[in-house]
Amino acid sequence: MEMNEGVQKIIEIFQKINTEAPPKTREALDEIGRLDALAKEQSDQVQNLKVQFLANFDKMTTEQKSNAFSHLQLQMEKMLEYSDQKVEISRRMTANLTEMKSQFDAASTNFIENYPTSSHRNSEANRTPETPKTSSSNRKKNETPDEKRRGRKKKEVKKEEEGEDIKQEELDDGNGEILNEMLDEDDEDRTWCW
């Protein structure tokens, strides 16, 4: 059930992004385009006014010069306002997209890729270490007397230096219980296949 809930959350996130981000972005870009066109038109008008002002500068009186210059400044201020509006719109658009991205990142924790994987598959602790296959003669050489092996232990015969008496070791059945029974001579000659 968690996977289905996660998938539903992902779908909701993408629907929100697809329904909110593109229209807002498109509106902002359209507004920037409109302001660009107005600023270009205003720039052309300012350029024409500058040319006319410089061409007729000698013919104008001081009052006309001051009026023409103030008019030229107003036109340039309009052009700057259009540029400032474009910058403000782009800031808002960037802030909206940044907020949308942060919401997306926060919600992306519910994505399937971010679900924890099952521990029995990927856990290194649960894996048995790989050991190279060795022959029984090599294994016997590498064993220490304290190592435990599977299966029934063979009886060990020790010789005492003084009396050369033969003792029989107690047998361990693998469960920690010691068996005190003696093996028959017939059992010693038999080989067992497990």
Looking at residue 90, its amino acid is S
For residue 159, what is the enclosing H or E element? strand 157-159
The pLDDT of residue 105: 78
79 lies in some domain? yes
Q: What is the mean pLDDT of residues 187-193?
A: 62
189 lies in some domain? no
87 lies in some domain? yes
> Which domain does 54 fall in, by range?
2-114
120 lies in some domain? no
If one compares 180 and 71, the residue with the highest pLDDT of the two is 71
Weakest mean pLDDT among 25-34, 131-140, 160-169, 170-179: 160-169
Where would I find the H helices in the chain? 2-55, 62-107, 119-122, 136-142, 185-189
The pLDDT > 70 percentage for the chain reads 50
92 lies in some domain? yes
96 lies in some domain? yes
176 lies in some domain? no
Q: pLDDT-derived band of residue 104, with 50, 70 and 90 as boundaries? A: confident
Q: What is the mean pLDDT of residues 171-181?
A: 53
If one compares 20 and 90, the residue with the highest pLDDT of the two is 90
Q: How far apart are CA 115 and CA 53, in angstroms?
A: 71
DSSP-based three-state secondary structure for 149 = coil
The pLDDT of residue 144: 59
Q: What is the mean pLDDT of residues 145-154?
A: 63
Q: How far apart are CA 100 and CA 22, in angstroms?
A: 11
Give the pair of three-digit tokens for residue 191. 């080989």
187 lies in some domain? no
Q: How far apart are CA 2 and CA 8, in angstroms?
A: 10
What is the number of structural domains in the chain? Answer: 1
Q: How many CB atoms lie within 10 A of CB 86?
A: 19
pLDDT at residue 162 above 50? no
Q: How far apart are CA 45 and CA 8, in angstroms?
A: 55
If one compares 9 and 123, the residue with the highest pLDDT of the two is 9
Q: pLDDT-derived band of residue 70, with 50, 70 and 90 as boundaries? A: very high
* 85 in Cβ contact with 35 (< 8 Å): yes
Q: Which pTM does this prediction carry?
A: 0.43
Rounded to the nearest 10 degrees, the angle between the axes of helix 62-107 and helix 2-55 is 170
pLDDT at residue 9 above 50? yes
Q: How far apart are CA 90 and CA 32, in angstroms?
A: 8
pLDDT at residue 182 above 60? no
